[in-house]
Amino acid sequence: MPHIIGYIGLIILVLLILGMIVSNIHVVQQSRAYVVERLGAYSATWGVGLHLKIPFIERVVKKVSLKEQVADFDPQPVITKDNVTMQIDTVIYFQITDPKLYTYGVEHPMNAIENLTATTLRNIIGDMELDQSLTSRDVINAKMRAILDEATDPWGIKVNRVELKNILPPKEIQNAMEKQMKAERERRESILQAEGQKQSQILVAEGEKQSTILRADAEKQAAILKAEAEREAAILKAEGEAEAIRKVQNAMADSIKLLNEANPNDQVVKIKALEAYEKAADGQATKIIIPSEIQGLAGLAAGFKGLLENDK
C-alpha cells in the first residue's frame, strides 16, 4: 500500500512538472511580438517562433500586434479663427514599430494618442477661418500626421495617415451654407441659360448671314448667266445678220458677174439700178435720192406700169 501511494505521488509530481513546462512554452505568431520581463525588469522582445519562459522568474508583460491599426475617435469640439464651433472626428492609421517603447513609453497609449489628436486639431483649426477649414482637409491631414508622428515616436508608434472623417458646423451655419449653395446653383443656372440663349441667337444670326450671302451669290451667278446668255444671243444675232449681209453681197456679186458676162446694155443696167433703189425704198429709210440719169427711166417705167394697170 505505501508503495502504491508513493507511485501515485510521483506520477502527480511528474504531471505537474510537465504541465508547468508546457504552460511556459510560447509560440509567437506572425506580425506579433511579446515583451518579456525577468524579475520585474525588461528582459527581451520575442519575435516569431517558439520560446520557453523561465517559471516564476520571467513573465510576458505585453503582447503587441505589429499590424497597421485604425483608431476612430469621437467628434471633438473645435473653434475656428472666426469663432465658429465645429464638431470634427478623426481617423488615425498607425503602426507599432518598437514594442518595448510602446510598453514602457507611455501609460495607456491609445488615450494618449486621442488626447494628443484633439489638442493638435484644436491648434490647427484655431488658425483657420470656417471656409478655409472646410476646403483644406488635405492641408489639415498633412499637418496633423507630421505632428502626431513626431510626438508618438518616443512611444514606438508610427502614424501613417490622419483623416478628417466629418466636419460638422453648427446647424445655423449649415442652413446658411445650404442657402448660399442654392443661390450659387441658381446663379450658375441663370448664367448657363443666358449663355445658351446667346449662343442660339448667334447661331441664328450666323445662319441668316450665310443665307443672305448664299442668296446674293445665287443672284449674282444668275445675273452673270443671264448676261452671258444675252451676250451669246447678241453674238449669234450679229453673226446671223453678218451672214445675211454676206449672202446678199455674194448674191449681188454673182448677179453683177452674170450681168458682166451677159454684156448688158445701158438700159438693163439702169433698170437693175432702179430695182435696187426700189428695194432700198422698202426699208427703214424715209428719204432716197435717185440719180438724174435714171430719173427719166424711172418715169418711163412708172408710165408703162400705169398703162398696164389701165388695160386690166
The Cβ-side half-sphere exposure at 134, using a 13 Å CA radius, reads: 13
**Spatial contact of 140 and 164, defined as CB atoms under 8 Å apart:** yes
What is this structure's pTM?
0.54
Note the pLDDT of residue 94.
94
| 30-39, 191-200, 288-297, range with the lowest pLDDT | 288-297
Distance (Å, whole) CA 139 – CA 147: 12
Classify the phi-psi angles of 186: left when phi > 0, otherwise alpha if psi is within -120 to 50, otherwise beta. alpha
Closest CA to 31 of 50, 48, 7: 48
Question: Quick one: pLDDT at residue 261?
Answer: 66
* SS3 category, 286: coil
The half-sphere exposure of 301 on its side-chain side, counting CA atoms within 13 A, is 14
CA distance 213 to 218: 8
Domain spans, the chain: 2-64, 68-169, 178-262, 264-283+290-312
**Residue 275, pLDDT score:** 61
Report the SS3 class of residue 30. coil
Run of H or E residues at 52: strand 49-52
Query: Does the pLDDT at position 276 exceed 90?
Result: no
Q: Mean pLDDT score of the chain, rounded to an integer?
A: 80
Higher-scoring residue by pLDDT: 107, 245: 107
- How far apart are the C-alpha atoms of 39 and 62, rounded to whole Å? 15
CB 261, CB 281: distance < 8 Å: no
Per residue in 152-162, pLDDT (tens digit) is 999 999 999 99
> pLDDT confidence of 172, banded at 50, 70, 90?
confident
Query: What per-residue confidence (pLDDT) applies to 160?
Result: 93
Contact 51, 34 (CB under 8 A): yes
**Average of pLDDT values for 112-141?**
89
pLDDT at 284 over 60: no
Q: State the CATH architecture for 68-169.
A: 2-Layer Sandwich (3.30)
Separation CA 44–CA 148 (nearest Å): 28
Q: How confident is the model at residue 304 (pLDDT cuts 50, 70, 90)?
A: very low
Residue 93 has pLDDT above 60, yes or no: yes
Mean pLDDT of 70-80: 89
- Give 176's pLDDT tier (boundaries 50, 70, 90): confident
Supply φ then ψ for residue 69, to 5 degrees.
-120, 160
Measured CA to CA, the distance from residue 181 to residue 173 in angstroms comes to: 12
Residue 66, pLDDT > 70, answer yes
- What pLDDT is attached to residue 36? 93
pLDDT band at 260 (very low <50, low <70, confident <90, very high): low
Mean pLDDT, residues 100-105 taken together: 91
Higher pLDDT, 218 or 93: 93
Dump pLDDT digits (tens) for 3-55: 677 677 778 877 887 777 777 888 888 889 999 999 889 999 998 988 888 88
